Amino acid sequence: MTAGTPDMHMDSPHGALPSELVLFPLNGVLMLPRGTMPLNVFEPRYLAMVDAALTGPRMIGIIQPAADGAVGLSAPDGTNLFRTGCAGRITGFQETEDGRYLIELRGICRFDVAAELPLRDGYRAVQPDFAPYLADLEPDSSAVTERDRLLSGLKAYFEQRGIGADWDALVKTPDERLVTTISMVCPFDPAEKQVLLEADNMAQRSKLLIGFVEASLRADGDNRINALN
């Protein structure tokens, strides 16, 4: 096996899933199957990571460090990682005049880290285990049983957090896209993001979303009451 040119296995509708996967460890960042994520890549080691992905399976593993850090920033070398991440395929690529890469990833399939490989040009790579998550390769047909409750909570949550949204478009968004997008973009803490990632299916993920949103609204209400006392 040649470094940077991984063997491929497990055919999927998007091509074969790789037996080796480059990693982009990002604090507080969640990728889910069929979700899309823009990335601005500028660190030399991660430019090398993108180069390796482009010459191989065009996939990058998004995974959270199991340590505190600034949201959206990469983790220092050697930081412990959560066991589960999600592989995304590069669907858009642009190189800027100042040497950055602007890429777009589309989530394909979650994975567990089976083994970490030696550093390559400063970036991390793993042997991924996709087997527990092969259902990710097909659209999730599980039902969102409390969609109205979720939307009601989200409207109040967005107002609380000052998040702008096209509400008419959001209301018309199909269940899976709604749950996936909201899970990825809402500013939940890293532990909550990881719980959403590891949810068995969309129905479970939507229940978790309702819980996180309503807990945030209750906490905000409690804080206002305490401020008045």
- Over residues 123-156, the pLDDT tens digits come to 999 999 999 999 999 999 888 889 999 999 999 9
Whether residue 171 is found in the same domain as residue 216: yes
Q: Is residue 115 part of a domain?
A: yes
Q: Could you give the CA distance from residue 18 to residue 15 in angstroms, rounded to a whole number?
A: 9
Whether residue 17 is found in the same domain as residue 80: yes
Per-residue pLDDT, 66: 85
Report whether 105 contacts 88 (CB < 8 A): yes
Q: Could you give the CA distance from residue 67 to residue 65 in angstroms, rounded to a whole number?
A: 5
Whether residue 190 is found in the same domain as residue 86: no
Using CB atoms within 10 A of its CB, is residue 140 exposed (0-12), middle (13-18) or buried (19+)? buried
Q: What is the total count of domains within the chain?
A: 2
Span of 42-46, 52-56, 165-169, 195-199 with lowest mean pLDDT: 165-169
**Residues in contact with 218: Cβ distance below 8 Å, sequence separation at least 6, in sequence order:** none
Pick from 137, 165, 199: which residue ends a domain? Answer: 137
Higher pLDDT among residues 41 and 4, named by residue? 41
Torsion sign over Cα 55, 60, 66, 71: positive
**Angle of CA points 202, 85, 76, to nearest 5°:** 140
Pick from 103, 137, 171: which residue ends a domain? Answer: 137
Per-residue pLDDT, 161: 87
Instruction: For residue 53, give the amino acid letter.
Output: A
Whether residue 202 is found in the same domain as residue 102: no
Per-residue pLDDT, 16: 83
Per-residue pLDDT, 4: 40
Pick from 112, 137, 162: which residue ends a domain? Answer: 137
Q: Is residue 110 part of a domain?
A: yes
Separation in Å, CA 167 to CA 150, 171, 181: 13, 6, 13
Report whether 83 contacts 111 (CB < 8 A): no
Expressed as residue numbers, the domain containing 49 is 8-137
Mean predicted confidence (pLDDT) in 100-129: 96
User: Would you state the structure tokens that stand for residue 149, as one six-digit string?
Assistant: 């409750």
Whether residue 111 is found in the same domain as residue 214: no
Report whether 127 contacts 20 (CB < 8 A): yes
Q: Give the CATH number, domain containing residue 95.
A: 2.30.130.40
Query: Would the pLDDT of 12 be above 50?
Result: no
Mean predicted confidence (pLDDT) in 49-76: 83
Whether residue 109 is found in the same domain as residue 25: yes
Whether residue 133 is found in the same domain as residue 204: no
Q: Is residue 29 part of a domain?
A: yes
Higher pLDDT among residues 10 and 134, named by residue? 134
Whether residue 52 is found in the same domain as residue 129: yes
Mean predicted confidence (pLDDT) in 180-189: 93
Higher pLDDT among residues 72 and 63, named by residue? 63
Torsion sign over Cα 71, 75, 80, 81: positive
The DSSP element (H or E) to which 93 belongs, if any, is strand 84-95
Whether residue 129 is found in the same domain as residue 152: no
